[in-house]
């Protein structure tokens, strides 16, 4: 597996890994936020990456979803932005070697941009750029900007990726009547994010494969030649005996893969509630097994 994202996408479908947070919580290691584990329990993070690669992932994501200064300062950890992201990238790079591509996971900032909030567009760009620079230094191959609700924030993240100098894929969460909670439609997302330079655009998190597929199909209808990315949750979460449970099994997830590929998906994985079993099932279908 080469490390050039564009060349890899040209060759065919890439299988991405699944949930990181779900796996880390199952480890029982107590931390203030998942990104702290990159420093306090690196072997735990490395083992998760290794499990996903063994399950057939072509792409693994760094443990850095909430690694921006805006998110870390809420846990009193703003002084570890550079260290946590650098460690996240290096752990994934070590696990991947030359057998997998490493995506620098970048999630939302948890703050509203103007005029709904006080964060300026340029301020958001700088926060994203700080995180992305550390991920790039650690050896990621591209950025996966994910679980975005606000189009303006997603565009700020894409601008930051351009400043750092690595390609980016951007996915949004369409969990409110086929829109994001900020009112962005799949059609608007695919048009504006592609225009802003995203290598691929798609949908992740929030909902299971059925609803995610609807968003992807709408994107494919608007932009039939676009490379798309899909990482649905393992269904809708519920509480069972005090534990979070999801209602889509690995085989249930795999049953939707053919439809995603038909709708133009080139990066296919899973999100919350999933595990290497899901990756293994997805890979089997994606590769015609």
- How far is residue 39's CA from residue 172's CA, in Å, rounded to a whole number? 29
Domain ranges within the chain, ordered by starting residue: 5-286
Q: Which fold has domain 5-286?
A: TIM Barrel (3.20.20)
**pTM of structure:** 0.96
Q: What's the pLDDT score for residue 90?
A: 98
pLDDT tens-place values along the chain, 289 residues long: 347 999 999 999 999 999 999 999 888 888 999 999 999 999 999 999 999 999 999 999 999 999 999 999 999 999 999 999 999 999 999 999 989 999 999 999 999 999 999 999 999 999 999 999 999 999 999 999 999 999 999 999 999 999 999 999 999 999 999 999 999 999 999 999 999 999 999 999 999 999 999 999 999 999 999 999 999 999 987 877 777 889 999 999 999 999 999 999 999 999 999 999 999 999 999 998 6
In contact, 43 and 95? CB cutoff 8 Å: no
How confident is the model at residue 289, as a pLDDT?
Answer: 65
Which helix (H) or strand (E) segment is 45 a member of? helix 42-54
Strand positions, DSSP E, 129-215: 142-148, 168-172, 200-204
Residue 171: per-residue pLDDT: 98
CA distance 159 to 122: 10
The pLDDT, as a whole number, for residue 96 is: 97
């Amino acid at each position: 597996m080469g490390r050039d994202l564009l060349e890899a996408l040209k060759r065919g479908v890439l299988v991405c890994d699944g949930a990181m947070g779900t796996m880390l919580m199952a480890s029982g290691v107590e931390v203030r936020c998942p990104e702290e584990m990159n420093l306090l329990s690196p072997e735990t993070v490395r083992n998760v990456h290794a499990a996903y690669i063994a399950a057939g992932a072509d792409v693994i994501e760094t443990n850095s979803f909430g690694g921006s200064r805006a998110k870390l300062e809420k846990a009193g950890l703003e002084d570890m932005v550079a260290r946590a992201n650098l460690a996240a990238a290096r752990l994934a790079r070590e696990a991947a070697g030359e057998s997998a591509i490493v995506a620098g996971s970048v999630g939302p900032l948890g703050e509203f941009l103007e005029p709904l909030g006080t964060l300026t567009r340029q301020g958001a760009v700088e926060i994203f750029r700080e995180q992305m620079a550390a991920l790039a230094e650690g050896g990621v191959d591209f950025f996966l900007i994910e679980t975005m609700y606000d189009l303006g924030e997603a565009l700020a993240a894409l601008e930051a990726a351009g400043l750092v100098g690595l390609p980016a894929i951007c996915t949004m969460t369409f969990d409110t009547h086929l829109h994001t909670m900020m009112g962005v439609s799949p059609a608007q997302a695919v048009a504006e994010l592609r225009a802003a330079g995203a290598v691929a655009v798609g949908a992740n998190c929030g909902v299971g494969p059925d609803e995610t597929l609807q968003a992807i199909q709408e994107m494919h209808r608007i932009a039939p030649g676009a490379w798309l990315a899909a990482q649905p949750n393992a269904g809708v979460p519920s509480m069972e005996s005090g534990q979070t449970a999801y209602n889509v099994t690995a085989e249930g997830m795999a049953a939707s893969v053919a439809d995603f590929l038909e709708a133009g998906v080139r990066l296919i994985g899973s999100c919350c509630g999933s595990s290497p079993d899901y990756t293994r099932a997805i890979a089997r279908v994606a590769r015609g097994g």
